[in-house]
Amino acid sequence: MSTKAKQGTVRALAIALYVVRLTQAPALCKQGAGAQTAAADPLTKTLQQLQAQSQAEGWKFTIGPTNALRDLLSGQPGLSDGPGGATGQSSLNGVLNARLDNYVASGQALVDRAVPQDSQLPASYSTLDAVGNLAPDVGDQSLGHTVHCGSCWAFASAGAIGFYYALLNRKKADFSPQELVDCAYASEGLPANGCKGGNAATAFDYARDHGIALWSNDPYVGRQKSCGHHPGAAKVQNYTKLQSPDGKSPSIAQIKGAIYTYGAVTATVMDSHAFAAYTGGVFGESGHGCDTSGKTNHLIVLVGWGTDAATNTPYWILRNSAGTNFGYGGYMKIAQTNPKTGGPCSALGQAVTYATIKEGR
């Protein structure tokens, strides 16, 4: 082997060993021998910057080299209000509100389970506990980083339908985000563009008009292909945007009631580097790590809530679409409020929807 080839092999081994060391760290990512060599890698450089910020600010949640961070650095995740990518909250919410408001009245009339008042809700709740092994599986929109598809909108929508299906029918069903990527095209000014971005309203429109197939009938391939309609295993009856009486973002009590009743809601959030690198704890406790730009670029699912005993921080249970090495097997505990701004952490919940499905489908 030439001297140049040997040097290349040694460098590759140094990078690999450093990433392994990061993965095995029990808390915050730690620098080790070979850090300067590995610093050219965008993932490692970002983690080093986050580590320095974490140490300076005293973060109590942990970070690491997650699939979600790799996705974000590659240009995902894919919430959009137009062809080509992410958007700020005002533009996105304007489009969503105009479309979803048309369904508020009819959606409420078709609700088949009464939403309880805040005083009737438990202090903590998780649909994961309520449905047990019937919960839909956590997916990875990047297929282990062999491809890059901005399909968070399809994963979140299919996941929310799956949780309500489990509650309603006491059966497990993994619905197909691939069918939504291929077939859920824009209508009435609400665009979706396959792997380049989309939103829950477009996904629920399609599942209402055509039904949605099982994952097993249309597996995820991480790219947009020609639309092929498959037998619908469930059909959306209607979907509704949550909002407060004054038309602003929904209250914490409203979101809790919808989760408790329908199993899950889709919600927008800002997928920052700190958010994407999350591996444990309560993200955003004391406001640390919460993005304060007020913009959203990612669609996720909320499936429960609780209060952290160590920090006394109320949190949401958030389900991501970046595989099981994110947080707790694909889930995050994220602070309900950001004490630095008085608003939600990372603009979470500015556009919240839930879908009802027809029983037995």
Q: Helix, strand, or coil here: 157?
A: helix
CA distances from 111 to 12, 50, 142, 198, 237 (A): 57, 44, 35, 26, 9
Q: Give helix 252-262 / helix 152-169 axis angle, nearest 10°.
A: 60
Which is catalytic among the residues 67, 93, 320, 338?
A: 320
CA atoms within 13 A on the CB side of 279: 20
Pairing of strands 282-283, 331-335: parallel
Give catalytic status of residue 345 as yes or no. no
- Is the CB of residue 332 less than 8 Å from the CB of residue 326? yes
- Is the CB of residue 357 less than 8 Å from the CB of residue 235? yes
Look at the block and give the residue holding tokens 């095995």.
Answer: 24
Beta strands in the chain (DSSP E): 62-63, 125-126, 236-241, 265-269, 278-280, 282-283, 298-307, 314-319, 331-335, 352-357
Which is catalytic among the residues 29, 148, 149, 152?
A: 152
CA distances from 328 to 287, 344, 354 (A): 20, 21, 24
Residues 6+ apart with CB under 8 A from 24: none
Distance CA 267, CA 255 (A): 10
Give catalytic status of residue 320 as yes or no. yes
Check residue 299 and report its DSSP letter: E
Give catalytic status of residue 152 as yes or no. yes
Distance CA 355, CA 18 (A): 44
Query: Which residues participate in catalysis according to the annotation?
Result: 152, 298, 320
